[in-house]
Structures are given as C-alpha cells and as structure tokens.
Structure 1
Amino acid sequence: MDALPSATDIAALLRWYAEAGVDEAIGEAALDRYEATVALAARPATPPASVPARVATAAPPPAAAAPRTSAPARAMPTVPLESPQLVEDARTTAARAESLVELEAAIRAFEGCSLKRLAKNTVFADGAADAPVMVVGEAPGEDEDRQGKPFVGVSGRLMDRMFAAIGLTRERDVYITNILNWRPPGNRTPNLSDVAICVAFARRHIELKRPRLLVLAGGVPAKSLLETETGITRLRGRWFEYTLPDGTRIPTMPMFHPAYLLRTPGGKRQTWIDLLNIRERLDQILAS
C-alpha cells in the first residue's frame, strides 16, 4: 500500500492552491464533464421555430415535457451574475453617494460583484484626501487584500519611491485607489465583467475627489476610464483630459503600473520621463 503523504507535503499543496486562487470547494463529488457532454449531445434536437402550425400547436407528450420543467440544475437566477442589471445597480448606488465617506460605505455594502465573495477585505483608498494628485490602479493584490489598503505590497513601495523622487508623498500629495475594490482570485487580470461593474464606483470616486491631476497606473484603468482599446504602451506619456459630469476637465497621464516595472525594468526610463512631466504639469497647475 502506498504511504500517506506527509503533513509537509499536504501543507505545500494547500499553499500552492491558495497562490493559484483556489480557496473554496465547489462540491463533495467530482463531476465527469465528458459524460455530461456525451449526454447533452445525445438529446433530441429542438424543433425549429418555423415548424408548421399543426405541429407547433400540438400538445407535447408528457414524457418529453418533464425534463424541461424538472431539472433544477438548469434553473437560472432572476438576475444572472455579471448581468447588465448589476452594472446598472452599481451606477445607481454610486450616484447616490454625496461624499467619499458615503461612497466607501456604499462600496462596502454592495453585493453585486462576485469578486467580493472571495476577497478578505474591501480596498477603498489611501493617502491624503485633499491631495492634488489622484492615482487609479488596477486591482488589489494579496498584500492589499490582507491589509485593506491599496498599493501596500512590493509594487506599492516602488510607487512610493517613484513619487518621492519628484517630491510627492502619499501622506501629503497623493491619493490612491483602484478600478476594482476587491482582489481577483490568484491576482488574475480583471475581466470585462469585473471592470464593467466596478468602473461606476471609480468614476464617482474621481468625481467626488476632484483631483487637480489624475494618474492612471496600468492598462486596465487607462482603457476603462479613457474609453479606448489602445494599449498602455501607446497611451503612456501622453496627456489626456478626463471630463467630469459638470464639465470640469482634469489633466490625465497614463503610465506603466509599478508591477510591470518590477517584471520589466527596461520600462523605468520611460516612467521616469512620465514622472518628470507629471511634476512639471502639477507645478503649473498649483501656480495658476
């Protein structure tokens, strides 16, 4: 008989699962997806919509009708997950907030994003509430999820050093948030459903904060807030204007996410140029 795995092996396997984002059991019994696919293919085809009237109006045999009404596994919820209704709910909830405090409370109470079910904490913002610069990143990572604050891990420490190099600090000059308020499992890239729901809160966040200058760190915030399909490599280093509902225009600079710079140090030279441009533009704004 094979020996049972040691406690060390089991712990290592559990750590691997956690790092991969596997943090819940779906069911006690395994499902044979191949068998389910074969069974689905063996089902009789549904009659086309254009069948003759005498066939379409004929009463179906009781045996044929039963599977269509008695299969609970095929039942769909009233409002499917990541549906347009949930996007509209997020927009309505965000619009009701009249202050940053109210917006934070609304986000913490919102249950329409599936990411919240797996996250440890809701990550709202950090930094000086009256800071002239607002940074919008992509999503919380493992450290951010654990501490409940954005940009507190390795990439966050790099970002602090980047802004410190141009004389800006989180405590006085920079206010930080993310497009997503909850960590995607395994730190995966946010999908369209995640962003579609959470971007309403991010837009309201900018509207209530009213920064003098906006920095979009990474491709996800740059694409979603500027409403473009252009990649961050082509967007970074260029000035845009983010327009609030009242017509106020905020100078906006997309730049590489610090996590990208950790993986690709060659991008630091371009980012340093972007930081110098941010410092110059901010000085002009504050002097006016």
Structure 2
Amino acid sequence: MESAVDYWTSKALLDWQVEMGADEAIADAPIDRYALEDKKPAPKVQTDPAKMAPPPPPAETPQIDVAQAAQDAAAAASDLDGLRAAMLAYEHCDLKAAARHFIFSDGVAGAPVMILTDAPDRDDDRAGQLMSGPTGVLFDKMIGAIGLNRVGENAVYMAPVLPWNPSQNRDPSAAELAMMTPFLRRHIELAAPKLVVLMGNAPCQALLGRSGMTRLRGRWVEVDGVPALPIFPPSFLLTNSAAKRDAWADLLALQAKLKDVT
C-alpha cells in the first residue's frame, strides 16, 4: 500500500506543477544559475541572397603564344645539337604525339648545299630517316646526277620543314608550319650553307609565304640572305614524269650556281 500512496502522491504533485506552468523536466540537484558562465548566444547572421557577393571567377589559364615559344627556344640554341634538343623539348606541336620518329636532319652538317624538304612521309617515319623508300631512291639519283651525295665527298645537308610525319601523310597545316618555322630558320642560320634548295611546297610556304611549285621552280630567290632555288620534290616526280625535264634543268642550275660559290 505504501508504494501506491507514493505513486498517487507523486502524481498529484506533478499535476500541480503542470497546472502551475512547468513544462520541462527539472534536474535532480539544484542549479545555481549565478555561478554559470554568462554566454550569450551568437547572433544569427541574416543572409540576404540579393546582397551576397558573387563568387570570384575561376582563374584563367594563361594563353601560350606557341610561335613565340618556338622563337625563344630556337634563338636560345647556340649550335645544331642545342637546336635538336630544343625541338625535342617543344611540346606545342600535336604532330609529335602521333609520329614514330623525330627526324632532325640527314647528310653532312656544314655542307655548302642545304636541301629543305617537305615533312617526313610515312616511309621516312617508319625508317627514322629522311628521304626513304621510293622517293629516297629517286632523290639519290637526282643529286647524284650533278655529283652530290648524302655522305662523303660533295655531300649535302638535309632538313625537313617539320621533324614529324603528319598523320595520314597529309600536308602540314598553315598553323603547324607557322609554329615550327622559327626552328627552320635557326637551322639554316646554324648550318650556314652557301645555297639552299627548297624541295617542295611546304618549305616554300614556310620561308617564302608562297606555294605552287610550277610557278616558283627554276627561279633563284633569297632566304635569310642565302640564295635559294625551289625544285620539284621526288614525290611529285614519281607521279608526274613530264616534270622531270624541268627538274633536270633546275638541278643543272644548282650545279652551275654551286661552282660560282665554292
């Protein structure tokens, strides 16, 4: 019975407190509110979307002038080995990723005749050597007919307008030529030939700003102060036999000019 009295007594006291307005539980021990640290609640920050500052714009990726980068890298090269290293380190030409080989030059550096060719073709890219395959066979016959060779006595020096083969054997784009021309001009400067042969449309476009071999061939021009002669490339002569007569005339003109400068 004692437990029943305690229950009803307790319930009556609780009901009385509810009637008096108590609406939460009371701790078992008394709390001295004056002894508690006075902490004021942090004021709520009212966020007004209309007054919020917009987020800062993302940082822009700096645009690289790829032609200027090539110009700077080429100018810094003090010799042919340095130029080769600078071209290998140049990362802005997409042709580099797809080509098998980097083809810098062929022949003998310092030779009086420097032959600038179109970009390496598929055969060159496979072999890792300039003027390979059927075009190389015809090329050797062409220069051999006027007493020149790739190596040894009366050697020539050769360099492609671009060191990588464009995929699908396509012609280089104007952007690719513009990008790599600073290296080509520096190559001529460091090789210091007495005569330059522009063997194909791409070298003429890069260095003369013109193309169309039927109009350009057979006429001496100047490239950076060096006499230069546009000549049909072997790849064109393999499919255009009628042009071989003009090519022979151009080779004879090269032979005569070479005697004048050496």
- Common fold by TM > 0.5: yes
Q: Does 1:208 align with 2:190?
A: yes
1:196 Cα shift?
0.9
- 1:112 is displaced (CA, Å) by 1.0
**Amino acid aligned to 2:116:** V
For structure 2, the 5+ residue unaligned runs are 1-49, 51-56
CA deviation profile, 1:169-225 (whole Å, cap 9, x unmatched): 010321111111111001101101110111111110000001011000011101221
Q: d(CA) in 2 for partners of 1:123 and 1:268? A: 27
Give the match for residue 208 of structure 2: 226
Contact 1:124 1:148 in 2 (8 A): no
Deviation at residue 78 of structure 1 after TM alignment: 4.5
Deviation at 1:77, TM superposition (A): 6.1
TM-score, structure 1 length as denominator?
0.68
Q: Is residue 78 of structure 2 the alignment partner of residue 119 of structure 1?
A: no
Which residue matches 1:90? 70
Of residues 223, 245, 248, the one that matches 1:242 is: 223
What's the CA shift for 1:130? 2.2
5+ residue gaps, structure 1, are 1-58, 60-68, 71-75, 244-248
Alpha-carbon displacement from aligned partner over 1:57-115 (angstroms, at most 9, x marks no partner) = xx8xxxxxxxxx99xxxxx9644xxxx71111111111100000111111111111010
Bigger radius of gyration, 1 or 2?
Answer: 2
| C-alpha distance in structure 1 between counterparts of 2:61 and 2:131, whole Å | 36
Q: Which residues in structure 2 correspond to 1:1-288 (within 5 Å)?
A: 78-79=62-63, 85-172=65-152, 173-227=155-209, 229-243=210-224, 249-286=225-262
Question: Could you tell me the TM-score, scaled by structure 2's length?
Answer: 0.74
Number of corresponding residues: 206
Deviation of the 1:251 alpha carbon: 1.2
What CA distance in whole angstroms lies between the structure 2 residues aligned with 1:77 and 1:102?
30
Residues 212, 251 of structure 1: 8 Å contact kept: yes
Quote the residue 2:18 is aligned against.
none
Give the secondary structure class of the aligned counterpart of 2:91: coil
> What is the SS of the residue equivalent to 1:263?
coil
- Structure 2 contact 213–231 (Cα < 8 Å) conserved: yes
